[in-house]
C-alpha cells in the first residue's frame, strides 16, 4: 500500500524535530521517520550545557525526548523505523520505509545527520560520556584545568587540540605518522602551542580506567615501545561520516558525502528535497546550528509547497 503525505522528514535529531515543529505548526502534517538512532547523536551524549534555554544543563536523551514531545504536540507523526530507499527521479517524491512501505511525499526534509568515526576499541564504548568524546566544543568545558588527549592528524584534530588547550592544563595530540595531515597553518598552530605535546608515530592501544577515564596505553609503531599516559579526557577527531548513502545518485554530495545545498538555504539540487543539520553541515556540527537549519528546511519546504499550489495545472 502507498501512503501519500505532504512532508516526510528523514531523521530525528535536533534538525529533524525542529523541522517537524515548524512544519506541523504550518499545517503540513509532517511524518518523521526516526532512523536507526532515534533522537540522533544527542541520545548518546551526557549533559548538554551549551543549548540555549537550559541554564542548568540537560541530559541529551531528555532533551531529545522533549523535542519529540513538542513536535508531536502540534500534530507530527513519529514512526520508529528507517527510510531504506528513495526515488527522486520524478515528482512527487518517493521513499521506501523499512524495505516494504512506499511513501509518496510532496516535500522531503533530509535530517539524517552524521556519525563520528571512532578507533574501534571496545574501551571507547565503555567510557563513552565517561571521558571519551568526539566533540571538544561540546564536552571540553568538563575537563577544565585537566590533562586530555586528542587522536587525529587532520585539521579537525588540530582544531580540537587548539580549542582544548585554552581550557585544559595539557593536551596530548596522538598522531599515527611522523607528520600531520592538517593544513600548514593549522599544524603550525599546534606545533607552536606550549600546552600541546605531540606523540608522533603513536597509536592508542587501550583506554584505561574503572568508572571514568584515568589514562591511555599507547604504542610507538616504529619502536614498539608502550607507555601509559595519565589523562582525564580522550577526544577522537578522526572525522565524521554523513549518513547519506541512500541519497547517492539522487542528491548532489561532496567528496566526503555531505549533501550540497544552495548557499543561504536548505534547497538541494532536487526539486522538493531539502537538507538540514549535520547531513549538510561539516563545519559547525552543533545541536543549536542543526536546530536552526531544521527551521530553515521547514520554512523552505512551506514556501516551496505554497508556490506549487499556485502553479497552473
Of 180, 205, 236, the last residue of a domain is 236
* Boundaries of domain holding 195: 118-236
- 179 and 283 within one domain: no
- 232 and 157 within one domain: yes
- 158 and 81 within one domain: no
Q: Which residue among 87, 98, 106, 139 is the active-site one?
A: 139
pLDDT confidence of residue 46: 76
- The answer to whether 150 and 173 are in contact (CB under 8 A) is yes
Q: Which residue among 98, 106, 138, 210 is the active-site one?
A: 138
157: CATH: 3.50.50.60
Neighbours of 89 (CB within 10 A): 10
Residues 155-160 have a mean pLDDT of: 93
Any catalytic annotation for residue 135? Answer: yes
- DSSP string of 129-160? TTTEES-HHHHGGGGTTSEEEEE--SHHHHHH
Model confidence at 35, in pLDDT bands (50, 70, 90)? very high
pLDDT confidence of residue 119: 96
- 265 and 226 within one domain: no
Q: How many domains does the chain have?
A: 2
Q: Give the percent of the chain with pLDDT over 70.
A: 99
pLDDT confidence of residue 312: 58
- The answer to whether 208 and 234 are in contact (CB under 8 A) is no
Quote the CA–CA distance of 67 and 117 in Å, as a whole number.
26
3-state secondary structure of 11: coil
- 253 and 108 within one domain: yes
Average pLDDT, the chain: 95
3-state secondary structure of 254: coil
Q: What is the CA radius of gyration of the chain?
A: 21
- 218 and 279 within one domain: no
pLDDT confidence of residue 43: 83
- 188 and 160 within one domain: yes
pLDDT confidence of residue 42: 86
Of 207, 236, 265, the last residue of a domain is 236
Structure confidence by residue, pLDDT tens digits, 56-98: 999 999 999 999 999 999 999 999 999 999 999 999 999 999 9
3-state secondary structure of 179: coil
- 193 and 140 within one domain: yes
Any catalytic annotation for residue 138? Answer: yes
Residue 279 DSSP label: G
Nearest to 35 by CA among 61, 9, 57, 54: 9
- 271 and 208 within one domain: no
Does 8 or 48 have the greater pLDDT score? 8
Q: Which residues contact 72 (CB under 8 A, 6 or more apart)?
A: 78
Any catalytic annotation for residue 168? Answer: no
Quote the CA–CA distance of 270 and 293 in Å, as a whole number.
18
Residue reference for cell 528513495 = 86
Q: Which residue among 98, 106, 135, 281 is the active-site one?
A: 135
Of 236, 269, 292, the last residue of a domain is 236
- 247 and 111 within one domain: yes
Amino acid at each position: 500500500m502507498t501512503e501519500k503525505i505532504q512532508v516526510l522528514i528523514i531523521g530525528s535529531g535536533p534538525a529533524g524535530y525542529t523541522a517537524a515543529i515548524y512544519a506541523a505548526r504550518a499545517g503540513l502534517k509532517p511524518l518523521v521517520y526516526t532512523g536507526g538512532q532515534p533522537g540522533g547523536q544527542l541520545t548518546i551524549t551526557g549533559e548538554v550545557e551549551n543549548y540555549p534555554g537550559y541554564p542548568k544543563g540537560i541530559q541529551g536523551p531528555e532533551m531529545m525526548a522533549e523535542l519529540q514531545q513538542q513536535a508531536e504536540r502540534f500534530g507530527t507523526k513519529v514512526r520508529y523505523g528507517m527510510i531504506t530507499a528513495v526515488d527522486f527521479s520524478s515528482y512527487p517524491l518517493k521513499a521506501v520505509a523499512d524495505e516494504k512501505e512506499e511513501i509518496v511525499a510532496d516535500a522531503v526534509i533530509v535530517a539524517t545527520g552524521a556519525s563520528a568515526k571512532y578507533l574501534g576499541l571496545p574501551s571507547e564504548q565503555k567510557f563513552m560520556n565517561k571521558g571519551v568524546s568526539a566533540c571538544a566544543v561540546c564536552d571540553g568545558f568538563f575537563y577544565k584545568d585537566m590533562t586530555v588527549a586528542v587522536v587525529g592528524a587532520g585539521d579537525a584534530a588540530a582544531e580540537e587540540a587548539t580549542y582544548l588547550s585554552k581550557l585544559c592544563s595539557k593536551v596530548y595530540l596522538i598522531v599515527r605518522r611522523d607528520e600531520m595531515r592538517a593544513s600548514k597553518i593549522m599544524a603550525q598552530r599546534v606545533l607552536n602551542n606550549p600546552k600541546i605535546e605531540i606523540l608522533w608515530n603513536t597509536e592508542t592501544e587501550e583506554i584505561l580506567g574503572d568508572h571514568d577515564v584515568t589514562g591511555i596505553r599507547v604504542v610507538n609503531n616504529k619502536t614498539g615501545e608502550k607507555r601509559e599516559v595519565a589523562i582525564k579526557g580522550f577526544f577522537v577527531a578522526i572525522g565524521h561520516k554523513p549518513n547519506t548513502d541512500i541519497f547517492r545518485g539522487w542528491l548532489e554530495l561532496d567528496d566526503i558525502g555531505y549533501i550540497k545545498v544552495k548557499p543561504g538555504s536548505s534547497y538541494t539540487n532536487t526539486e522538493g528535497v531539502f537538507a538540514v543539520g549535520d547531513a549538510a553541515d561539516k563545519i559547525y556540527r552543533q545541536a543549536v546550528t542543526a536546530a536552526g537549519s531544521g527551521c530553515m528546511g521547514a520554512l523552505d519546504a512551506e514556501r516551496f509547497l505554497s508556490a506549487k499550489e499556485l502553479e497552473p495545472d
